[in-house]
Structure 1
Amino acid sequence: MPMTRGLRLMSTLALRGPLEEALLGALTARTGHAPEVRWAPAGVLADELRAGAAADLVILTRELLSALQTERSIRPGRVHVLASSAVGLAVPAGHPLPDISDAAAVRAAFLAARSVAWSSQGASGQHFLTLLDRLGISEHVLPRACRIETGLAGAKLRSGDADLAIQQLSELHMVEGISILGPLPEEIGATSVFALGVTSDSADEAGFISLAKEPAFCAALIQFGLTPRDE
């Protein structure tokens, strides 16, 4: 039965750019109802779902969706992989571009930065903490780092609160006026796989998935630094 209201979608910020660019408008045109979207870091959304938040479809990391399936917050067998994104670094536009070609160079860039902006609730933030421990510089970098609970780390480059930002490449691409250095080098990099999960039996995930496979959405994923996936 067709839904008589807008689809309730909860999505990680990592896919906000391509969804707004090439999918949500098409979904509104197809259904006649604008979707109700809640944007937040994946960890925040997972906690909200566990607390009983209402949604029809959810876009999170594949690992979180797997955990939520076990907890029965996501319908079993109804998870669809959409894209993957690497964690990257950026600096304010016009600033010198530090070398990030290997682990030693990234370590030096972190130590040289006045402040590193990072998101504590996202997958990139968890990797940042692990990486600082691995590089042995947590005590030097974290006290002066610019931690955000939600939002875009790149925005702190524009405001002057930080001179280096770490987040998913797709989230860095959403901020104008910054220079993206690229993904972390392979030896210390991290890639997150994002997928769509179903929380309501009435949700029309088939219609959403069909739009997600359209060339326009795949092009938007690439534009924002993501790699389309179809699994």
Structure 2
Amino acid sequence: MLVWIIQKISKSGVFFLLIMIQGLGLCAELKILSGNGSRPATIELCAQFQRVTGHRIVLEFYVNPTVKSKIEAGEYFDVAVLNPPVLDALIGMGKIDSSSRVTMGRIGLGVAIRKGSPRPDISTVQAFKKTLLQAKSVAYPGDGASGKYFVTLIDQLGISQEMATKMRPMSGEYNVEGVANGQVEMIVVVASRIYGVDGVDYVGLIPQELQTWIGFAAGVSEHSKEKEVARNFVKFISSQEAAKVMIPIGIEPFVE
């Protein structure tokens, strides 16, 4: 068996890893535990890494607290993709290698409606407030950081009482799909979750004055059996090449 590992620097200074394998049985398998916010980007980046390297990736999505609980309980994983505070907490527990930590990007809150519905005005704070008050039902992630912020935002806008019967907390895994199937009229969620979901129209980001940015970062498990491959994966998903995947789906990349 013969393995060549070639590291190249492209014109843009991007780290690019090409693994050429002659023979069988040399491909690694990585288990990735990820929060839902970065789902579209993480899926595409994992697919690209698999195509380039030949390694296999097992990818699982949950809300951030669930990922944290699984890791705390000792579930095996190679890489975690999470909100920075959650990832940093796991680093503090000795679950994730601090030297492998990378910040990938940040995502703002956006609005989606059922495909073909009249497009609401969310261009200003007052317009957004009016749209919320006129909506029959408004979904939001019931178990994530963005959902907690949205509930706080409703209170800050002074419309908690009016919105009480309209608010629909939904599971982070399939909340946007609830808009597509007509279960709810609209949703406020991290914008990246809206991309790639059939049956919805993306309205846009909520007004800047009300915006919060949800970051996401990645790190390698202290107990990974494939640390070298996992580190290469983390480098790839925080590269300029990865940024090309993130930008079109509403993620503002962070590249050191």
TM-score by length of 2: 0.81
Is residue 223 from structure 1 mapped to residue 248 from structure 2 by the alignment? Answer: yes
Is residue 145 from structure 1 mapped to residue 167 from structure 2 by the alignment? Answer: yes
Structure in which a larger fraction of residues adopt helix: 1
Superposed displacement of residue 35, structure 1: 1.0
- Are the aligned partners of 1:86 and 1:189 in contact in 2 as well (CA < 8 Å)? yes
Cα distance in 1 between the residues matched to 2:74 and 2:105? 26
Is residue 207 from structure 1 mapped to residue 232 from structure 2 by the alignment? Answer: yes
Cα distance in 1 between the residues matched to 2:156 and 2:210? 9
Q: How does 1:32-181 map to 2 (within 5 A)?
A: 32-181=54-203
CA RMSD after TM alignment = 2.2
Q: What is the aligned length? A: 229
Cα distance in 2 between the residues matched to 1:153 and 1:76? 32
Which runs of 5 or more residues in structure 2 are unaligned? 1-24
Task: Return closer, same or farther for 1:139/1:181 CA change in 2, 3 Å cut-off.
Answer: same
Identity of aligned residues (%): 26
Structure in which a larger fraction of residues adopt strand: 2
- Are the aligned partners of 1:83 and 1:194 in contact in 2 as well (CA < 8 Å)? yes
Superposed displacement of residue 214, structure 1: 5.4
Cα distance in 1 between the residues matched to 2:27 and 2:197? 35
Once the two structures are superposed, what CA deviation does each residue of 1:116-161 show, in whole Å capped at 9, x if it has no partner? Answer: 1111122211111111111122233243322212313221111111
Cα distance in 1 between the residues matched to 2:93 and 2:26? 26
Which runs of 5 or more residues in structure 1 are unaligned? none
Once the two structures are superposed, what CA deviation does each residue of 1:48-68 show, in whole Å capped at 9, x if it has no partner? Answer: 222222211100011211222
- Are the aligned partners of 1:9 and 1:56 in contact in 2 as well (CA < 8 Å)? yes
- Are the aligned partners of 2:31 and 2:57 in contact in 1 as well (CA < 8 Å)? yes
- Are the aligned partners of 2:28 and 2:55 in contact in 1 as well (CA < 8 Å)? yes
Task: Return closer, same or farther for 1:39/1:20 CA change in 2, 3 Å cut-off.
Answer: same
Cα distance in 1 between the residues matched to 2:112 and 2:179? 8
Greater C-alpha Rg = 2
- Are the aligned partners of 1:19 and 1:217 in contact in 2 as well (CA < 8 Å)? no
Task: Return closer, same or farther for 1:80/1:214 CA change in 2, 3 Å cut-off.
Answer: closer
The runs of at least 4 aligned residues of structure 1 exceeding 6 Å deviation read none
Cα distance in 1 between the residues matched to 2:156 and 2:130? 14
- Are the aligned partners of 1:26 and 1:211 in contact in 2 as well (CA < 8 Å)? no
Superposed displacement of residue 89, structure 1: 0.8
